[in-house]
């Protein structure tokens, strides 16, 4: 029997739906009709060579890049556009920014405010964007820093933190806005190899807690262990997708085989 409750309906709606998403920069078509779905609580890893469109696709999801064609929805809401009489109209930047509050993003570079402590970096957006009281925000920010293993570094400035610690502060900062979806754009690629594990551990814990995540990564071990689905992109298209273990150990497409032979 179908579940007709509000909760049941919400669970049935995928967290992310991409329908024939294309993106061009001038004459350069970077995305060529990407269609995929990400379920609630799913961890999807996007892999592929540099220039395949992975990061651009991630930036389209939270409307940091405007799609050239197709449509993207997050939690049932069209991203960056309103639909009226079958036509799409781009939202005012303020409306798009409001949508973006629900989507956390962690970049390759940590982008922390250098003049603020770790605690202040995590507190900034909830106070400025949501207008919450400093006291309630501080308590939550300290809890988030503890969650990423940095309770004792709350009063440190970014210059006095390692790259791995800075990236963990960046994750705490994204979580402070209580997003329903987290996007990670190669979050470990700027780190020294010995610091990669501490960031991946935090991400693995988020996955265990049920956070919906899309991760652009070159960390195939993480993809195999943590991801629910793996998507191989090349040349702006989805070449192959499926169960991470299956795709990584038994790739069906020659382009996937060639790529994995170089990175595994």
* Secondary structure element (H or E) that encloses residue 31, with its range: strand 28-38
Q: Please give the backbone phi and psi of residue 70, each rounded to the nearest 5 degrees, phi first.
A: 85, -170
- For residue 152, with 0-12 CB atoms within 10 Å meaning exposed, 13-18 middle and 19 or more buried, which class applies? exposed
Task: Convert the pLDDT of each residue in 165-220 to its tens digit.
Answer: 999 999 999 999 999 999 999 999 999 999 999 999 999 999 999 999 999 999 99
Q: What is the pLDDT of residue 11?
A: 65
Least confident of 84-88, 129-133, 175-179, 237-241: 84-88
Q: What is the pLDDT of residue 257?
A: 97
Task: Convert the pLDDT of each residue in 21-55 to its tens digit.
Answer: 999 999 999 999 999 999 999 999 999 999 999 99
Please list the residues that pair with 213 across neighbouring strands: 43, 182
Residue 8: pLDDT above 80? no
Task: Extract the tokens encoding 50.
Answer: 């540099």
Residue 226: pLDDT above 70? yes
The predicted model gives 250-255 an average pLDDT of 96
Q: What is the pLDDT of residue 10?
A: 58
pLDDT band at residue 1 under the 50/70/90 scheme: very low
Q: Which residues contact 239 (CB under 8 A, 6 or more apart)?
A: 48, 232, 233, 253, 255, 256
Task: Extract the tokens encoding 41.
Answer: 């609580």
Q: Which residues contact 62 (CB under 8 A, 6 or more apart)?
A: 79, 99, 100, 103, 105, 183
Task: Extract the tokens encoding 211.
Answer: 């956070």
């Amino acid at each position: 029997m179908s579940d007709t409750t509000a909760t049941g309906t919400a669970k049935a709606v995928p967290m992310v739906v991409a329908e024939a998403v294309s993106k061009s920069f001038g004459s350069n078509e970077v995305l060529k009709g990407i269609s995929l779905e990400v379920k609630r609580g799913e961890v999807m890893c996007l892999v592929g060579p540099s220039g395949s469109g992975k990061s651009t696709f991630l930036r389209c999801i939270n409307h940091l890049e405007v799609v050239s064609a197709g449509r993207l929805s997050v939690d049932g809401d069209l991203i960056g556009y309103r639909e009226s009489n079958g036509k799409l109209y781009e939202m005012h930047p303020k409306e798009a920014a409001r949508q973006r509050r629900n989507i956390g993003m962690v970049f390759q570079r940590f982008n922390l405010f250098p003049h603020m402590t770790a605690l202040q970096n995590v507190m900034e957006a909830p106070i400025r964007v949501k207008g919450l009281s400093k006291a309630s925000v501080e308590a939550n920010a300290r809890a988030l820093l503890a969650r990423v293993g940095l309770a004792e570094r709350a009063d440190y400035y970014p210059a006095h933190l390692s790259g791995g610690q800075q990236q963990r502060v960046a994750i705490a900062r994204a979580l402070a806005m209580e997003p329903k979806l987290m996007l990670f754009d190669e979050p470990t690629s700027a780190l020294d190899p010995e610091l990669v594990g501490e960031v991946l551990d935090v991400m693995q814990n988020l996955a265990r807690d049920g956070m919906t995540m899309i991760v652009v990564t070159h960390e195939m071990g993480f993809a195999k262990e943590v991801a629910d689905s793996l998507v191989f992109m090349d040349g702006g298209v989805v070449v192959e997708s499926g169960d991470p273990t299956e795709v990584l150990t038994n790739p069906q497409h020659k382009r996937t085989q060639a790529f994995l032979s170089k990175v595994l």
